[in-house]
């Protein structure tokens, strides 16, 4: 029985608004959104903006807009900068309980300690030097004007273990972890405690994030326990449990690591490349799982197979070419109604159907549609072809199937067939050697324009 069983699922996506979302964190957002959908719960957007210097309102807006573009609508939004007094309250109870302590080392001193340990081949774990200070020594530091930063005191006797939704049974020896700094000397917060406080107070049941957070989870599990023990948080005992945790393998580029490019590849760049949000969602939903990436535009369909047990531990490879393939397949499955508001003026359902198989993405639609509206490129023809095209202009009739009628008539009258019959006609009518089905295109070009194009080429 899972600890959070019986509670409404609440997941959260918690970006820091210090930049734009990239495919890596979009993937985390998506999986949290899917998990909430799948379990009939809620998906929260939590803006981790405790760093006032680096957090920017424009990024908050961009995050909201990106999620909306991708079809992920949060059921609520929270902001850490509006909850500072909650972190103060948690801090106070933890301090009272002896679970946070002041430390006075400078960054240089800490770095030196690290180097010494590493030099001896030991893990660079904080030595808890600050705990050895007497009250007088602390008072002396403060008299010198040195303000402390604050660390969370891990309980070395409390083994840390959890059943990870992706990684399975996971455990950490707390002695092998440094007591994390949770608050800077200026009173500002580091990520660790506010996140745990929020997860408690927002009733988060599932934390699904990248595996770079595994050791944070170990620390935060002790924070949840310490907070509950100190009387902070949930009203009922049943709720006094930490969320389920799942850590997904990181996203890497085809070259095998999270490249700079991938780390900054976001919605704007993808939109510029005419990637549909459905394509990105379809790909990210399954990347790194045992399920195949398929061009599934309907997120309800993707949800049917969404299951953390399909997530693998190997890094998930993000391949642009694969995204483009998925995108093309999704575009090819769009009905007219799906795209009607994005088509060039005058392009109707028949136009979309004619052009659709030829486009790799929506950015190519206008280009193909120009074959209908013109102007088209005027190609050079041999004298023989010119005569043939002049004849075609004469033979053109306008019924249900002008292309069928034209080609049959010309086949009959000229004896031409195959490429010799079709190619000069296509070239004269579109200025191109290949393109949409002529049977669909010719009625869209229209009789008068078609005749004109044939005549021009036949001269
Ligand atoms: N703001 C944190 C990050 O972006 C959130 C991590 C978490 O999901 O707890 O890494």
Q: Is the pLDDT of residue 51 over 50?
A: yes
Ligand 1 centre distance from Cα of residue 15 (Å): 6
Model pLDDT, residue 259 = 72
Q: What is the pLDDT of residues 149-164, one digit of tens each?
A: 999 999 999 999 999 9
Q: What is the pLDDT of residues 335-344, one digit of tens each?
A: 999 999 999 9
Q: What is the pLDDT of residues 247-261, one digit of tens each?
A: 999 999 888 776 777
177 near 215, Cβ under 8 Å?
yes
Comparing 52 with 329, which gets the higher pLDDT? 329
Angle formed at CA 102 by CA 98 and CA 107, multiple of 5 degrees = 145
Ligand 1 binding pocket mutation candidate from 213, 224, 248 (most atoms within 8 A of CB): 213
244 lines ligand 1 (CB under 6 A): no
> Residue 216 CA: which ligand 1 atom is closest?
9
DSSP SS3 for 244: strand
Ligand 1 centre distance from Cα of residue 56 (Å): 16
Q: Is the pLDDT of residue 166 over 70?
A: yes
Model pLDDT, residue 414 = 97
Model pLDDT, residue 36 = 98
Model pLDDT, residue 234 = 62
Q: Is the pLDDT of residue 233 over 50?
A: yes
In sequence order, what DSSP letters do the residues of 171-195 get, joined into one string?
EE-GGGSPPPEEE-TTSPBPSHHHH
Q: Is the pLDDT of residue 268 over 50?
A: yes
Model pLDDT, residue 78 = 98
What does the alpha-carbon distance between residue 212 and residue 42 come to, in Å, rounded to a whole number?
24
CA-wise closest residue to 351 among 368, 374, 334, 375: 368
Q: Is the pLDDT of residue 370 over 50?
A: yes
Q: What's the alpha-carbon Rg for the chain, to the nearest Å?
A: 32
Residues in the chain: 459
Comparing 339 with 5, which gets the higher pLDDT? 339
Tokens of 306: 């969404």
Ligand 1 binding pocket mutation candidate from 191, 199, 242 (most atoms within 8 A of CB): 191
Ligand 1: residue whose CA is nearest its atom 7: 14
In this prediction, residues 217-222 reach a mean pLDDT of 98
Model pLDDT, residue 245 = 98
Angle formed at CA 15 by CA 13 and CA 18, multiple of 5 degrees = 170
Model pLDDT, residue 6 = 77
In this prediction, residues 92-115 reach a mean pLDDT of 97
213 near 165, Cβ under 8 Å?
no
In this prediction, residues 328-347 reach a mean pLDDT of 97
Query: Using CB atoms within 10 A of its CB, is residue 151 exposed (0-12), middle (13-18) or buried (19+)?
Result: buried
What does the alpha-carbon distance between residue 328 and residue 326 come to, in Å, rounded to a whole number?
6
Ligand 1 centre distance from Cα of residue 293 (Å): 26
Model pLDDT, residue 429 = 98
What does the alpha-carbon distance between residue 338 and residue 332 come to, in Å, rounded to a whole number?
11
What does the alpha-carbon distance between residue 2 and residue 86 come to, in Å, rounded to a whole number?
28
Model pLDDT, residue 264 = 81
- Cα→Cα distances 406→186, 318, 395, 428, Å: 82, 48, 6, 14
User: What is the CATH number that goes with domain 383-457?
Assistant: 1.10.10.350
Half-sphere exposure of 392 (CA within 13 A, CB side): 36
Ligand 1 centre distance from Cα of residue 17 (Å): 11
414 lines ligand 1 (CB under 6 A): no
Q: What is the pLDDT of residues 280-297, one digit of tens each?
A: 999 999 999 999 999 999
Ligand 1: residue whose CA is nearest its atom 3: 15
Q: Which contiguous run of DSSP H or E holds residue 446? A: none
Ligand 1 centre distance from Cα of residue 23 (Å): 15
Q: How many CB atoms lie within 10 A of CB 326?
A: 24
In this prediction, residues 114-118 reach a mean pLDDT of 96
Confidence of residue 262 (pLDDT cuts 50, 70, 90): confident
Q: Is the pLDDT of residue 3 over 60?
A: no
Ligand 1: residue whose CA is nearest its atom 5: 14
15 lines ligand 1 (CB under 6 A): yes
Model pLDDT, residue 263 = 79
Confidence of residue 1 (pLDDT cuts 50, 70, 90): very low
- Cα→Cα distances 114→108, 111, 123, 126, 154, Å: 10, 5, 8, 8, 19
425 lines ligand 1 (CB under 6 A): no
Model pLDDT, residue 238 = 63
Q: Which contiguous run of DSSP H or E holds residue 450? A: helix 447-458
Ligand 1 centre distance from Cα of residue 321 (Å): 29
Confidence of residue 237 (pLDDT cuts 50, 70, 90): low
Ligand 1 binding pocket mutation candidate from 11, 12, 15 (most atoms within 8 A of CB): 15
Ligand 1 centre distance from Cα of residue 78 (Å): 13
Tokens of 330: 């999704």
Considering the chain, what percentage of its residues have pLDDT values greater than 70?
Answer: 97
Q: How many CB atoms lie within 10 A of CB 434?
A: 9
195 lines ligand 1 (CB under 6 A): yes
Model pLDDT, residue 255 = 80
């Amino acid at each position: 029985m899972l600890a959070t069983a019986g509670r409404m699922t609440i997941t959260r996506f918690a970006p820091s608004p210090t930049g734009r979302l990239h495919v890596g964190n979009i993937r985390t957002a998506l999986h949290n959104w899917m998990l909430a959908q799948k379990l009939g719960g809620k998906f929260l957007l939590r803006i981790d903006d405790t760093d006032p210097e680096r957090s920017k309102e424009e990024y908050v807006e961009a995050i909201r807009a990106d999620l909306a573009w991708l079809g992920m609508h949060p059921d609520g939004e929270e902001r850490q900068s509006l909850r500072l007094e909650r972190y103060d309250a948690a801090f106070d109870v933890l301090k009272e309980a002896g679970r946070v302590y002041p430390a006075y080392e400078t960054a240089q001193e800490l770095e030196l300690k690290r180097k010494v340990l590493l030099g001896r081949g030991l893990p660079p774990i904080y030595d808890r030097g600050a705990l050895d200070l007497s009250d007088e020594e602390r008072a002396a530091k403060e008299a010198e004007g040195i303000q402390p930063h604050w660390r969370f005191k891990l309980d070395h006797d409390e083994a840390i273990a959890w059943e990870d939704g992706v990684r399975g049974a996971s455990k950490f020896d707390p002695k092998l972890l440094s007591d994390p700094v949770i608050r800077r000397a200026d009173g500002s917060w580091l990520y660790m405690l506010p996140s745990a406080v929020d997860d408690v107070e927002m009733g988060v049941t599932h934390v699904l994030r990248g595996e770079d957070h595994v050791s944070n989870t170990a620390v935060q599990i002790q924070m949840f326990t310490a907070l509950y023990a100190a009387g902070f948080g949930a009203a009922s005992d049943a709720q006094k449990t930490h969320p389920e945790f799942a850590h997904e393998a990181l996203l890497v580029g085809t070259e095998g690591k999270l490249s700079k490019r991938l780390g900054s590849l976001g919605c704007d760049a993808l939109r510029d490349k005419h990637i549909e949000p459905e394509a990105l969602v379809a790909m990210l939903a399954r990347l790194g799982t045992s399920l195949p990436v398929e061009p599934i535009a309907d997120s309800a369909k993707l949800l049917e197979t969404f299951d953390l047990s399909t997530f693998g531990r190997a890094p998930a490879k993000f391949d642009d070419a694969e995204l483009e393939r998925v995108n093309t397949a999704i575009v090819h499955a769009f009905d007219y109604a799906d795209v009607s508001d994005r088509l060039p003026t005058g392009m109707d359902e028949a136009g979309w159907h004619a052009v659709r198989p030829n486009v790799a993405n929506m950015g190519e639609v206008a280009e193909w549609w120009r074959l209908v509206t013109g102007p088209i490129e005027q190609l050079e023809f041999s004298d023989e072809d010119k005569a043939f095209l002049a004849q075609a202009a004469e033979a053109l009739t306008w019924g249900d199937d002008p292309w069928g009628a034209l080609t049959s008539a010309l086949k009959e009258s000229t004896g031409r067939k195959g490429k010799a019959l079709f190619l000069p006609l296509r070239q004269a009518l579109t200025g191109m050697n290949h393109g949409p089905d002529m049977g669909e295109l010719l009625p869209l070009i229209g009789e008068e324009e078609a005749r004109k194009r044939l005549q021009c080429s036949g001269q």
